[in-house]
Amino acid sequence: MKLTVFLTLLGRFASTIAHETLLGRHDIKTIFTGAHWSINTTVSFPGSDSFTNATVRWSTFHQPTYAVAVSPATEADVIQAVKLATSNGIPFLATGGRHGYTTTLGALNNGLAIDLGQFDTIRVDQHRGTLTIGGAVTLKIGTCSCPGMVGVSLGPGLGPWGGVHGLVIDALLSLHVVTANGTLIEVSKSSNPDLFWAFRGAGANFGIVLSATYQLQKQVNNGQVFVLESIIPNKLNHSYFDILEQYDGGKLPKELAIFTFIAFNSTTEAVQLRSIWTYFGPETEARNAMKSIYDLNPTITSEVTYGWNKVIQSVSGGSDYYQCQRGSVQDIYTINARNLSTSTYKDSFERLSNFYEETPAGRECLLQMSMYPNQAALAVPDDETAYPWRDTIAILDLLFTWKDDTSNTEQAVETLAKDLRRDLAATSGYPELAVYINSAHGDETLESRYGARDYSWRHAEKWERATRM
Ligand SMILES: Cc1cc2nc3c(=O)[nH]c(=O)nc-3n(C[C@H](O)[C@H](O)[C@H](O)COP(=O)(O)OP(=O)(O)OC[C@H]3O[C@@H](n4cnc5c(N)ncnc54)[C@H](O)[C@@H]3O)c2cc1C
């Protein structure tokens, strides 16, 4: 049994959402209003505020459509919602932070939204050193404060801590899960271990996580992070990309993360290169680690030491608030890279610059390059979890958005995005396009998302039982 078995089983679960229910909206309303729910559970239908609150997404691009939303207050109501959906052939999606943006979500039509918003508890067990959170809790651990922590964790939770603390899945101890057939199970190394392996990095299709428990780690540098923000004058962009390439081959110190943005500046009306360098360590050590960028003499906009939980809201002039706004088109393409390439980044800079000139409606599109150290992530054996890209050192996100609804803009944006993705993937160091599952656009091959590994040692029957409706 080869990789195909694993992928077929994944595909089988995915196919359960990739269709429209044959029932009419009236039938669905009867089914869900006819059931008995606990007092704090809300059942809502299109046209009401509570339905909007339960379903509004960060991105409207290829979003799912629903005939009904259930916001369960109890585990029993999650199970009931799943059973009503499966027994009536209604496709459904459980949501946490509603920041997922893969276009495959658009295959779900006229379905059931299971809004986990009431599963929002946070519990710290000081004795065991663990954190347990509900399935929809959002925490400030990544590049933005609003995605769901469980949603982020499953895919596998990447961020600037990868050098010191590892991936978020590496801290995961157990999950409390409702499976597709409505059974409540514990998933951990000792309970349903195959499913635990799959949940850690192969995405969110294996069941509904009501709560997740993580091992807490000791703070580094008392939780203080030194952050340098700067604007790189356009004439220095080649030298800046040369600096980035010097970190190729695992040379990024484990405490240092580098974010680079190629974007349009509406004040100067031109392309602009911006960077944020973060360091989990004392300021003097940080400045030393950042010597190359200081030597470049960029325009420094901020040099501040923050508590780790204040960084996201504070950097980029507080842009986190705007990044978290829901309800806009977000057409995103991502490339994982284990090699860095000055020439490709220079070329991307030129092409974005030309694009901004030619397509004013696309000027909010940008390329975000996040270079994450991966020493602690690499210390975990590759086959320990389903995440196949532990050697990734950069996540290249084409964050494309537009406001006008002419098909010309969409066409121009998509043409550029696909060209840039092809070229960035060609120098990424992976033989094919590689993308971590949470950031997949939706048109990638299964191998691009899950890795071309041999899964034959996994127990196929267990997968099937856990995933089939
Ligand atoms: C602005 C922004 C910043 C980001 N930053 C980072 C980052 O720093 N690091 C990183 O690794 N990723 C990051 N991501 C990507 C993020 O990991 C994914 O978008 C993730 O899927 C978001 O989860 P969610 O719960 O918010 O989304 P949702 O749309 O609610 O869910 C996305 C998928 O996860 C499933 N899911 C969510 N919660 C549960 C649950 N409790 N049980 C079962 N399935 C569930 C859903 O069914 C769906 O398939 C970012 C995304 C955005 C939009």
CA 127 to centroid of ligand 1, rounded, Å? 30
- Reported pTM: 0.92
Judging by DSSP bridges, how do beta strands 66-71 and 111-115 pair with one another? parallel
Burial environment of residue 185 by CB neighbours within 10 A (0 to 12, 13 to 18, 19 or more): middle
The answer to whether 376 and 401 have CB atoms below 8 angstroms apart is no
Write out pLDDT tens, residues 330-341: 999 999 999 999
More confident residue, 6 or 399: 399
Mean pLDDT within 195-202? 94
Rounded to the nearest angstrom, the distance between the alpha carbon of 133 and the centre of ligand 1 is 15
With cut-offs at 50, 70 and 90, classify the pLDDT of residue 311. Answer: confident
Q: What is the pLDDT of residue 242?
A: 97
Site to substitute for ligand 1 among 112, 115, 152, 328, most atoms within 8 A of C-beta: 152
Which residue, 144, 424, 57, 150, is CA-closest to 262? 424
pLDDT at 404: 72
Closest ligand 1 atom to Cα of 105:
49
Q: Residue 241 above 60 pLDDT?
A: yes
Give, as one character, the DSSP assignment of residue 382.
Answer: G
Ligand 1 near 61 CB (within 6 A)? no
- The alpha carbon of residue 300 and the mean position of all alpha carbons in its chain are separated, in whole angstroms, by 29
For position 455, what pLDDT does the model report? 60
Place of tokens 């094919």: 432
Our measurement of the distance from residue 178's CA atom to the centroid of its chain's CA atoms, rounded to an integer in Å, reads 22
pLDDT value, residue 145 = 82
Q: Is the pLDDT of residue 24 over 90?
A: no
Q: 130-134, 157-161, 223-227, 452-456 — which is least confidently predicted?
A: 452-456
User: Which domains are present in the chain?
Assistant: 3-115 (3.30.465.10), 122-219 (3.30.465.10), 222-435 (3.40.462.20)
Residue 323 Cβ < 6 Å to ligand 1: yes
Average pLDDT, the chain: 90
Mean pLDDT (whole number) for 150-177: 95
Q: What is the pLDDT of residue 454?
A: 63
Q: What is the pLDDT of residues 349-393, one digit of tens each?
A: 999 999 999 999 999 999 999 999 999 999 999 999 999 999 999
From the alpha carbon of 332, which atom of ligand 1 is closest?
A: 53
Quickly tell me which residue has 């893969």 as its tokens.
102
Beta strands in 162-237, from DSSP E residues, in sequence order: 172-178, 184-188, 208-215, 224-232
Q: Is the pLDDT of residue 462 over 60?
A: no
Q: Are strands 366-371 and 394-400 parallel, antiparallel or unpaired?
A: antiparallel
Question: Does 71 have pLDDT greater than 50?
Answer: yes
How do residues 315-327 score in pLDDT, each as one tens digit? 888 788 888 889 9
With 90 as the cut, is the pLDDT of residue 297 above it?
yes
